Amino acid sequence: MEAVVQQGPPTAPEKEESPASQEKVRQKKDTRGWLKTLLSFASRCRGRMVVAELFSILSVFSGLVPYYGAYRIIDAVATAPSNSAAPWDAVLFWTAVSAAAYVVKQLLFAASTINAHVSAYTILASLRDGIAKRLASASLGTAQSKSIGALKNVVVDRIEQIEIPLAHMIPELSANVLLAVAIAVWVITIDWRLALACLATLPIGLLIMAFGSAGYYKMYGGYLARQDHVNSVVVEYVEGIRVVKAFNQTTSSYRKYSDAVRDFMDFTIKWMRTSRPSTASAMAILPTTLFGVVPVGVLLYLEGSLTPGEFGLVCMLALAIVTPVMYLGMSFNDMNLISYAITDAQEFLNLPVLVQPEGEAKVEGSAIHLDNVRFSYEEGAEVIHGISLDIPSGSFVALVGPSGSGKSTLARLVARHWDVDSGSVSIGGADVRDMPLAQLSSLMSYVSQSDYLLDGTLRDNVLLGKPNATDEEVRAAAEAASCEEFVSRLPKGWDTPAGEAGHALSGGERQRICIARAILKDAPVIVFDEATAFADPENEARIQKSVAALSQGKTLLVIAHRLSTIVHADVIYVVDGGQVVAQGTHAQLLENCTLYRDMWQAHIGAASWAAGSGDVPESAFAEGGDAR
């Protein structure tokens, strides 16, 4: 929802997953269909891939010409009558042809490699683009339910890992298959017995390789699971460094980090120890084709059924077949790597898309209506149990209730971060599901608890509310949101990058930037999920003042965590355990609702304790005797 003012809710807490449990999850992943997915992302570079393939095939066949040249030279020399001069014409001719073919081979290979690398990078870019687009078209809630660590693993690391195998596999796999077949056929046409002799040691090498590969693949999942674990521990360690230091947890947090790294290292060494002997043995056995070819060739030569030239040629071909066969063995590893990466990417590529209608819905006014809404984040764990709410156009309505009662969830459902399981949410008489997200976004400013600033300067962040706003409009919004005073403190003022400012600003100040953004946007509905973190009364008063400026003449839904801020609401709904248990004005609820009364007492106690007096802190909403 690009124009919704604020980032949504904090992501669901990441579950602590051990590498072993991640490994189990990985083993259950269906890796079928990865090739289809990969090819669907290759459509932009199909032409280039065909060119790369063609050049590669021509390159390997040009590479065979020198073998033929050498055969002709040996043959010419060996069959020349003993009393005649050496056949220099033939020698020079075939040397020139072989050299030219070698140069052509290298040029074709370079052209193939360039096209293959461009294709591989195009596929990588399409995959990353595809994930970004899918995240954008999924509901905000679904997108945010994925952890940053998992997303970074796939989008940055896993996809990057497939570049080299992909770039080489695109042209080389089929070229090498063809080459191996062509050499085998060539040897058979010379003498089938030599072909058998040539293949004598290959099956042994290939068997050992297949055996070793099975163990290698089995442990590959474990390797990836540990790599993911290290990544998420690193992200957690870096993101949480402030908390870690504040609670003096550096030693235990560092231990978790170093344990993950050590476990990853130990596993990788074990993996290599287990799989390397067979790989090394296979690599040692595969090139030994001459073991069979030389003795059989000598016998056939002595018997008179093989010319010296053919003998030399078969020896060379026996050596030449080794490279493509070894390549084919190795490319199974590459395919495995690619299949894992694409399977991981599919998790994001297959995120459910939020269904949006094409045309805009007819909206009249800005009243919000929730009708018997039920919702669960996870199947079987309903958190909203049939809530109905009426928020008339231009009214100020507050939701209060204990922590975890479902207030923020209701706000997110109004902003369609998720779709309701049953019931409906409507704005201006139209179901939010019947509006394109752009229309919903234009109707609403959602200012959430998380004080998230996007990359860019502070001015850019405010301008997100109305990209074509004039400087004067930005200044007025910033002033109404009480931002000018703290922004002028920053050496670069409004040109301070948000990241840099993030460290210099308090949570309340960051939220005021978001409120300025919402003021500039001027949407008819304001959903304000009040932050809990602003213990400092001065900051809180300023926030309330900014919200009062923001909500002039609008429909205002406030998720209140501090009751003093909403005492003047037109209607207060008390939410408990995912249900509305009472509704009314502040005075009515004090009289009729025990839960509200208890919360109010607790609030007064906490407030007077914080202020060091018995007075209730005055709400900025209350300044004019009304919220607006």
Q: How many CA atoms lie within 13 A of 184 on its CB side?
A: 13
CB closer to ligand ADP, 171 vs 406: 406
CA-to-CA separations, 242 to 259, 268, 372, 517, in angstroms, rounded: 21, 32, 42, 28
Nearest distance from C-beta of residue 14 to ligand ADP, angstroms? 11
Q: Does 8 engage in binding with ligand ADP (CB under 6 A)?
A: no
Q: What residues have CB less than 8 Å from 620, skipping those under 6 apart?
A: 541, 542, 543, 544, 545, 547, 548, 565
Residue 350: DSSP 8-state = T
Residue 61 CB burial class (10 angstroms; 0-12, 13-18, ≥19): middle
Least Å from the CB of residue 575 to ligand ADP: 7
Stretch that binds ligand ADP, among 19-27, 237-245, 303-311, 404-412 (CB under 6 A): 404-412
Strand 368-378: give its sheet, edge to edge. Answer: 381-391, 368-378, 422-427, 430-431
User: Does 401 engage in binding with ligand ADP (CB under 6 A)?
Assistant: yes
Residues 515 and 482: their CA atoms lie apart, in Å, by 9
Tokens for 3, please give them.
């124009």
Query: Among candidates 341, 328, 333, 330, which has minimal Cα distance to 34?
Result: 341
Closer CB to ligand ADP, 12 or 280, in the complex: 12
Distance CA 356, CA 144 (A): 19
Using rule CB under 6 A, residue 142 touches ligand ADP: no
> 479 vs 292, 337, 465, 492, 534, CA distance in Å?
88, 55, 15, 18, 20
511 lines the binding site for ligand ADP (CB under 6 A): no
- The burial of 2, by beta-carbon neighbours within 10 Å (0-12 exposed, 13-18 middle, 19 or more buried), is given as exposed
Phi, psi at 73, each rounded to 5°: -65, -50
| 300's tokens | 């056939």
Least distance (Å) between residue 255 CB and ligand ADP: 29
Cβ atoms 390, 445 nearer than 8 A: no
Q: Considering only residues 7, 59, 201, 409, which one is a binding residue for ligand ADP as defined by CB under 6 A?
A: 409
Query: In degrees rounded to 5, what are phi and psi of residue 490?
Result: -75, 135
Are residues 574 and 583 in contact, defined by beta-carbon separation less than 8 angstroms?
Answer: yes
- Asked if 377 interacts with ligand ADP (CB under 6 A), we say yes
Binding of ligand ADP by 521 (CB under 6 A): no
The distance of closest approach from Cβ of residue 408 to ligand ADP in the complex, given in angstroms and rounded to an integer, is 3
135 vs 321, beta carbon nearer ligand ADP: 135
The reply on whether position 12 binds ligand ADP by CB under 6 A is yes
Q: How far is the CB of 405 from ligand ADP (least distance, A)?
A: 4
Query: Which C-beta is closer to ligand ADP: that of 376 or that of 608?
Result: 376
Min CB(497)–ligand ADP separation in Å: 29
Please, what is the minimum distance in Å from the beta carbon of residue 210 to ligand ADP? 45
Binding ligand ADP (rule: CB under 6 A), the pick from 83, 84, 189, 403 is: 403
Decide: 344 and 156 in contact? Cβ < 8 Å.
no
407 binds ligand ADP (CB under 6 A): yes
Complex with ligand ADP: residue 94 or 573, whichever CB lies closer: 573
Alpha helices (runs of H) in 286-435, residue ranges in sequence order? 290-303, 308-320, 322-349, 407-414
Minimum CB separation from ligand ADP for residue 419, in Å?
14
Question: Is residue 292 a contact residue for ligand ADP (CB under 6 A)?
Answer: no
247 vs 377, beta carbon nearer ligand ADP: 377
Find the angle CA(223)-CA(229)-CA(232) to the nearest 5 degrees: 145
Residues in region 378-397 near ligand ADP by CB under 6 A: 383
The radius of gyration of the chain from alpha carbons, rounded to an integer in Å, stands at 35
Q: Which is nearer to ligand ADP, 410 or 481 (CB)?
A: 410
45/575 with CB nearer ligand ADP:
575
By beta-carbon proximity to ligand ADP, the closer residue of 332 and 452 is 452
Q: What is the 3-state secondary structure (H, E, C) of 563-601?
A: HHHHCCCCEEEEEECCEEEEEECHHHHHHHCHHHHHHHH
Quick check: 416 binds ligand ADP (CB under 6 A)? no
Give whichever of 11 and 274 is closer to ligand ADP, judged by the CB atom: 11
Count of residues in contact with ligand ADP, rule CB under 6 A:
11
**What would the x/- binding string for ligand ADP be over residues 145 to 164, using CB under 6 A?**
--------------------
Among 33, 295, 404, 577, binds ligand ADP (CB under 6 A): 404
Q: Give Cβ neighbours of residue 568 (< 8 Å, ≥ 6 apart).
A: 396, 586, 619, 621, 622, 625, 626, 627
- What is the DSSP code string of 407-439? HHHHHHHHTTSS--SEEEEEETTEEGGGS-HHH
Shortest spacing between CB 27 and ligand ADP, in angstroms: 26
Cα–Cα distance, 259 to 233 (Å, whole number): 10
- Please, which residues have CB within 8 angstroms of residue 221's CB and are 6 or more apart in sequence? 23, 26, 27, 340
What is d(CA 39, CA 482) in angstroms, rounded to the nearest whole number?
Answer: 53
- Is the CB of 123 or the CB of 414 nearer to ligand ADP? 414
Asked if residue 115 binds ligand ADP (CB under 6 A), the reply is no
Among 408, 439, 448, 457, binds ligand ADP (CB under 6 A): 408
Residue that the structure tokens 């370079």 belong to: 110
Exposure of 249 in the CB half-sphere (CA atoms within 13 A): 11
Nearer residue to ligand ADP within complex by CB, 448 or 496: 448
Shortest distance in whole angstroms from residue 425 CB to ligand ADP: 15
Helix (H, G, I), strand (E, B) or coil at 485: helix
The minimum distance between CB 451 and ligand ADP, in angstroms, equals 16
**Residue 402 Cβ vs ligand ADP, minimum distance, rounded to whole Å:** 7
**Taking contact as CB under 6 A, which single stretch among the options 132-140, 325-333, 356-364, 403-411 is the one that binds ligand ADP?**
403-411
Site for ligand ADP contains 450 (CB under 6 A): no
Q: Whole-number minimum distance, CB 401 to ligand ADP, in Å?
A: 6
Of positions 19, 309, 324, 406, contacts ligand ADP by CB under 6 A: 406
Q: Least CB distance from residue 410 to ligand ADP, whole Å?
A: 7
Closest to ligand ADP by CB, 192 vs 377, is 377
Compute the least distance from the CB of residue 139 to ligand ADP, in Å: 12
Sign for the pseudo-dihedral over CA of 317, 322, 323, 328: positive
Among 113, 405, 445, 496, binds ligand ADP (CB under 6 A): 405
Binding site for ligand ADP (CB under 6 A): 12, 377, 383, 401, 403-409
